[in-house]
Amino acid sequence: MLTNPVAQNESERLRDLYEYQILDTPPEEDFDEIVRLASRLCNAPISLISLVDAHRLWYKSACGLAEREGIRNVSFCQYAIGHDDIFVVKDTLVDQRFSDNPMIHGESGVRFYAGVPLVSPHGHKLGTLCIIDRVPRNITPSQQETLAVLGRQVVKLMELHKTRLCNDEMAALHRLQQKEMTRLGEMQQRVLSILAHDFRNPLLSLRSLLRLMPDQPQSSPHPALFREMAHQQLQGALGLVDNLVEWGRLQMRTPVSAERPYALRELVQDLLKDFQAVMEMKGLVVKNRVDPSLELRIDKDLLIFILRNLVDNSLKFTRKGCITVDAVLSQYDLLVRVEDTGIGMPPPILNMLFHGQKRIARKGTLGEQGSGLGLSLVREFIEKAKGSLQAESQESKGSIITFTLPLR
C-alpha cells in the first residue's frame, strides 16, 4: 500500500478547512442534492462529499453510505487531494498501489473509486467529491466533467456557508454593540441626573454657607460648625467627582490583565492608606486578612475601583469596631469579602442596594454625604466582568459585601 501522503502545506490546508467551520455540522439538502446527482449521472451506488481532516475523513454528505466519517490513512480521498484533476482507480484489486488496502476486501469492499479535489479559493485541497462502486469499472469523459463541475459547486456552497457564518457573527456583534450602546446611554443619563442633583446641591449648600459666614470668623458664634458643614459638602462633591472620573477612565479603556502577578495583600494595604485619616478620626480598626501569598493577574485598576468604593462605604456607615478585608482563590474565581461592624441596613434598603436604576443615598455616621453612585458603578463593572456581587446585613450589627471576579 502507498505511504500516507501529507502535503507540504498541510498546516495551511487544515487552517483553511477549519475556517469554513463546516466539520461535524448537520446534513444540508443543498449538499445532499449534489451527491445524489453525482450517483445518478455516474451510475455509482455510493457518492460522498469527503473533507480530509488531520486524522479522519468527515462526510458532509453521503449517498449509499450510512457512516459519517472514515479513517484517513486507509482512504482513497487522501490520495485524491494530491492530484490536480480527477483521481481514478478502475480496479483496486489489480492496482498495485492499493492491492493490500483493507478497504478493498470482502463483498462490500471498494473495487472502483473516482474523486475530484475540492479546491478552495486559496488553492488548498480540502477534500473530494467522489463516487465509489463495489465492482471494477471505468468513468467516461462526460462523467469526469460532470464530477468536476459538481465539485466546483460544492466549494461554492462551502463559501456560502462561510459567508452566512460571517454574517451571523457580524449580526451578533452588532446586537452586542447595540446593547452596549444602550447600556452606556442609560448610564450617561444617570450620570447627568447625578450631576444635576447630587453634585449641584453640595455646591449650592456650600455657596449658601459662605454667604452666611460673617466677614470676621471670630465674631461667629459657631465657626467650627460652619467649617464642618462646608467640609462635608466638599467631601461629598469631591468623592462624587472621583467616582465619575474613574468610571469614565475605565469605560474608555479595554480591560487588561497584569503582565506580572501582583500581591493582593499589598494592593489592599496601599488602598487602606487613603482612608487612614477617617479611620483615626472614628477610632476604627481595619484588618487586612488577605493571604500574603495570594497573587493575581486580574485587571488591577478595576479591582482597586471596586475595593475603594466598598471600603469607603463600610467606613461611612461604621461608628465603632472594625472593618475586615479578606479574599480566597478558587480554580476559576477570586472571592473578596468586605465585612464591617457598622449600623447595617434594613431589608428594604438591602434589597435595593445594587438595583440597576435606583440609588440608595444615606448619610454616614458622621453625616457624610452619599449619592449611592459608587455601589451602582461597582455593580456595573462586576457584571461586565462576568463576576457576582452579594450583600448581607443586620441592623446595628453590620454588613458583609462579597464579590467574585473570574481569573480569566
The answer to the question of residue 61 being in a domain is yes
Q: What is the dihedral of CA 264, 266, 267, 270, to 10 degrees?
A: 160
The answer to the question of residue 20 being in a domain is yes
Q: Which grid cell sits at 311?
A: 471600603
What stretch of H or E contains 35? helix 29-42
What stretch of H or E contains 173? helix 141-194
The answer to the question of residue 209 being in a domain is no
Which DSSP letter does residue 220 get? -
β-sheet with 285-288: strand ranges across = 285-288, 322-329, 333-340, 398-406, 388-394
Residues 158 and 269 in one domain: no
The answer to the question of residue 180 being in a domain is no
pLDDT score for 210: 63
32: left (phi over 0), alpha (psi -120 to 50) or beta: alpha
Q: What is the dihedral of CA 156, 161, 166, 172, to 10 degrees?
A: 160
pLDDT score for 115: 96
Which DSSP letter does residue 102 get? G
- Using the 3D structure, point to which of 148, 170, 192 is the last residue of a domain: 170
Point out the residues of the chain with pLDDT beneath 50. Answer: 356
pLDDT score for 267: 93
Q: Which residue spans within 120-273 are E strands per DSSP? A: 125-133, 262-263
Q: What number of other Cβ atoms are within 10 A of residue 142's Cβ?
A: 9
pLDDT score for 64: 93
User: What amino acid occupies position 94?
Assistant: V
Q: Which grid cell sits at 31?
A: 449538499
- Using the 3D structure, point to which of 135, 170, 205 is the last residue of a domain: 170
**How far is the C-alpha of 132 from the C-alpha of 114, rounded, in Å?**
7
Q: Which grid cell sits at 255?
A: 480591560
Question: Total domain count for the chain?
Answer: 2
Tell me which residue of 307, 332, 328 sits closest to 401, measured CA to CA.
307
CA distances, 296 to each of 91, 185, 292, 322, 385 (Å)? 65, 32, 11, 26, 15
Residues 27 and 143 in one domain: yes
What stretch of H or E contains 208? helix 200-212
The answer to the question of residue 224 being in a domain is no
**Which residues form the domain of 369?**
255-406
Residues 23 and 133 in one domain: yes
Q: Which grid cell sits at 134?
A: 463495489
pLDDT digits (tens, 9 = 90+) for 99-127: 778 888 877 789 999 999 999 999 999 99
pLDDT score for 222: 55
Q: Quickly tell me which residue has 465657626 as its cell.
A: 223
What is the Cα 300 distance to its own chain's centre? 19
**What CATH number is associated with residue 19?**
3.30.450.40
pLDDT score for 146: 94
- Using the 3D structure, point to which of 170, 185, 214 is the last residue of a domain: 170
Which DSSP letter does residue 69 get? E
**How far is the C-alpha of 280 from the C-alpha of 278, rounded, in Å?**
5
Q: What number of other Cβ atoms are within 10 A of residue 332's Cβ?
A: 9
Residues 154 and 265 in one domain: no
pLDDT digits (tens, 9 = 90+) for 54-89: 999 999 999 999 999 998 988 899 889 988 999 999
